[in-house]
Every structure is written in structure tokens, then in C-alpha cells.
Amino acid sequence: MNSPVRAWGAVGGEPRFLVRGRGAYVWDADGNEYVDLVCAFGPLIAGHAHPDVLHALSNAARRGTGFGAPNPVEIELAEAIVEAFASMEKVRLVTSGTEATMTALRIARGATGRARIIKFDGNYHGHNDGLLVRAGSGSATLGVPSSAGVPEGISELTSVVDYNDIEGLEASLRADPPPAAVIVEPVAANMGVVPPVPGFLEKVVELAHEVGALVIFDEVISGFRVARGGAQERYGVHADITCLGKVIGGGLPVAAVGGRAEYIDLLAPTGPVYQAGTLSGNPVACTAGRETVRLLDEAAYATLESRGERLENGLREIIASSGVEVCVQRVGSLMTLFFGVSEVRDFRDASATDTAAFARFFRKMIDGGINIAPSQFEAWFLSLAHGDAEIDRILEVAAHALSS
């Protein structure tokens, strides 16, 4: 495995090796067909191998796969991002979400002259040393590393509070030393889909600014996914710095960090905060992102919302008649079924789920031709390629999986 999230250790069995995708479907090396609810863990919001994206990619590759110099398509993608996000005046393209969050933290520390960062338990921001911390509940709790190889001296600069916990956040913000930034998934999607409670995001921004800290929204998953302008558009709140990924690459490695000009101008070569990357703004990758973003108009989001609602309502009906304790949580085209609980508001709730029940459900779904992520704590991703036929098939297999 080149990424642990692809392993089946939590569900049992042998991972399927996928060799082809088209629209809402993927096929494994043995020729089995699946309706795909992984969509490469989010980037493929238009579906697999969309013809417009493939045509543009073919033309871009024939012109050259990289130049080590500015190119027009990276500017076009950056302009589309800035147009979509009201909080962004400038953007720096990078190659991964991990690189985007790492750069965002460096900007925040450079802007404030402070070192401490506050994150939320159960939020994942890539495998940066300082963010691989999940210290559990408690206000102003100093983190301990959750990965070997992370020095405690680095993790001690990260404080952890519960997601959706305003009181815990306020206590941590007012603790010493003063924080440089609060980083948050505005729609949590790495402990399963957990939406912000009403007013939570607004209070994150308000309280952080009261103590001179910046607010970083990690919209690597939610950006261009839950709305064209991400969670910030959906919930009407703006961050100082935003991290994007997944959809803006259309299946190729592109990510971004953006925000107000005064912060992005701190990056080299205009400022003292260093960041660089050989493949940043790669023309082929940016072409995939540009073409994908072009497909995401108002009608596209209406389609994603209606299909998400149809799938959610169908699952709720099945669950109600099955007698199995499962809750469905959805934001737009993101969805998770949590087993053994009635609601999930934070990581403690997520940790109380019945992972053995999920593993049984997973195996029945995959055997029935529905490809979902092999973890209770991952999201289902719908795409524009998922139509009524695919949703009907998902519901049919889910009904069997929950009743047997």
C-alpha cells in the first residue's frame, strides 16, 4: 500500500486492485464492476474519465508535461479559485493537501510571530509533524505525537480541543503562549462526515481574531465539493487562509493555499516565508483541475445536492425498517453511515461507533458491487456521474446488507 487508507485492516479481507474507471463505475483486476462511492477519495466530482477532462489532458500532455517556468493554465486555475472564494485575494499552487496545510501554518507563524497552533480532535490536516496530533478531549490540551518519528518538541506546539466545542476553544485561545492560528475542517470529513453545529464556524473566527490568531480553513475535501466556494460559501463565513486540494486537481496532484494578499505575499519570492516545489502549478495537472472546475456550475451543485438528498432519504427509510442502529450524516455530496450511535458531533462520538458492524456492512456492500472506503471514518463521495440507476443500485445493496 502506498497510502494506509487503502488498506483493509479495519474490515478484513484482501483489497481489490482497481484497473479502470468510467463515470460512476470502476472495475477491478478480476473484471468485477462496482458503483464507486470513493471517487479517488473525493477529487473525481465529475466522475471517472470525464471526456472533457480527458480531451484537455491529452492536448496538454502533447505540449509537454512540465517546464519549470510559469505557464498560462496555472494562472487560469488560480483565477478560477480566487473567483470562487470570496476570502481569497491570492493563491499559491502546490502539489498536495499536506503541503498546503504545512504552508498555511508557516504563513500564520510568519505573520504573527507566534508558534502555537490549535486544532480540533478528529480533524486531519495531512501528515505534517505538527498536525499529527490527536490528544483527546479537554480544553487547551497539549498534544502528544500520534505517529512514530514525530518529536515531542514539535507536537507540543499543537493544542487540541473537541470539534464543535466553543468553550474548549475559547479556553485554549486564552491560554499561554498565545496561538498563531486555529486550523479546522469546516466540514469534518476525516472522522466520517460531521457538520459544524450552527454558529460554530462563526465563533471560531470571532474568538480567534479577538486574541490576534489567524483562522485556517482546511477545505481540501470540502472546497468545490459542498459548494463552488466550499464550506465558506455554504455557511457564509470567511477564513484568513484556506487550503484546497482534491477537486481542484480533478484526479491529478494539485493543491493550493490562498487568502488575503497580505498573508500570501509573505511567501517567497515576495516575502520571507519560504515555499517552493518543482511540480507546483504543473500544466498537465492544472489542466485536469481547470476542466473539472469548469464543469461545476450552479446546475451541477443542484444535481449533487438532489442526488445526495435522494440517497440519504432512501438510506434512512431502509435503516428505519431494518432495526439496526445507524445514523446518516450528509453535507451536500459527502455522506457517512455511523453504526451503533444516533448522532456524531465530535471525535469522541465517532470513536464510540460499532466498527465491527461497519466491517460486516462493508463486506456485504463490496460483494454486492458497491465500492465504499474500507473505514468507518471515511466519507462516501457522490459525483455528477451518479444517476438514479446508480442510487437505486446502492440502496438495493444497502437494504440487503442491513437486513442480513
- Mean pLDDT across 266-280: 96
Q: What is the mean pLDDT of the chain?
A: 94
For residue 141, what pLDDT is reported? Answer: 36
Q: Report whether pLDDT(146) > 80.
A: no
Q: What is the 3-state secondary structure (H, E, C) of the chain?
A: CCCHHHCCCCCCCCCCCEEEEEECEEEECCCCEEEECCHHHCCCCCCECCHHHHHHHHHHHHHCCCCCCCCHHHHHHHHHHHHHCCCCCEEEEECCHHHHHHHHHHHHHHHHCCCEEEEEECCCCCCCHHHCECCCCCCCEECCECCCCCCHHHHCCEEEEECCCHHHHHHHHCCCCCEEEEEECCCECCCCCECCCCCHHHHHHHHHHHCCCEEEEEECCCECCCECCHHHHHHCCCCCEEEECHHHHCCCCCEEEEECHHHHCCECCCCCECCCCCCCCCHHHHHHHHHHHHCCCHHHHHHHHHHHHHHHHHHHHHHHHHCCCEEEEEECCEEEEEECCCCCCCHHHHHCCCHHHHHHHHHHHHHCCEECCCCCCCCEECCCCCCHHHHHHHHHHHHHHHHC
Q: Report whether pLDDT(143) > 60.
A: no
- Mean pLDDT across 330-350: 97
Q: Report whether pLDDT(172) > 80.
A: yes
Give the residue carrying C-alpha cell 466550499. 230
- The residues assigned a catalytic role are 124, 218, 246
For residue 216, what pLDDT is reported? Answer: 98
Residues 272 and 266: beta-carbon distance below 8 Å: yes
Overall pTM surpassing 0.85 (yes/no): yes
Quick one: pLDDT band at residue 344, thresholds 50, 70, 90? very high
Q: What is the pLDDT of residues 252-263, one digit of tens each?
A: 999 999 999 999
Instruction: List, in order of start, the domains of the chain with CATH numbers.
Output: 12-50+296-403 (3.90.1150.10), 52-294 (3.40.640.10)
- Mean pLDDT across 212-233: 98
Q: Report whether pLDDT(185) > 60.
A: yes
For residue 156, what pLDDT is reported? Answer: 87
- Range name among 63-67, 154-158, 296-300, 329-333 with the lowest pLDDT average: 154-158
For residue 6, what pLDDT is reported? Answer: 87
Share of the chain above pLDDT 90, in %: 90
Taking each helix axis as running N to C, give the angle between helix 283-294 and helix 72-84, from 0 to 180 degrees, rounded to the nearest 10. 40
Q: Report whether pLDDT(327) > 90.
A: yes
For residue 182, what pLDDT is reported? Answer: 98
Quick one: pLDDT band at residue 134, thresholds 50, 70, 90? low
Q: Report whether pLDDT(136) > 90.
A: no
Q: What is the pLDDT of residues 39-92, one digit of tens each?
A: 999 999 999 999 999 999 999 999 999 999 999 999 999 999 999 999 999 999
Q: Report whether pLDDT(145) > 60.
A: no
- Mean pLDDT across 169-191: 97
For residue 131, what pLDDT is reported? Answer: 86
Q: Report whether pLDDT(140) > 80.
A: no
- Mean pLDDT across 343-357: 96
Q: Report whether pLDDT(151) > 90.
A: no
- Mean pLDDT across 183-208: 97
For residue 147, what pLDDT is reported? Answer: 75
For residue 378, what pLDDT is reported? Answer: 94
Residues 223 and 259: beta-carbon distance below 8 Å: no
For residue 311, what pLDDT is reported? Answer: 98
- Range name among 50-54, 123-127, 340-344, 378-382 with the lowest pLDDT average: 123-127
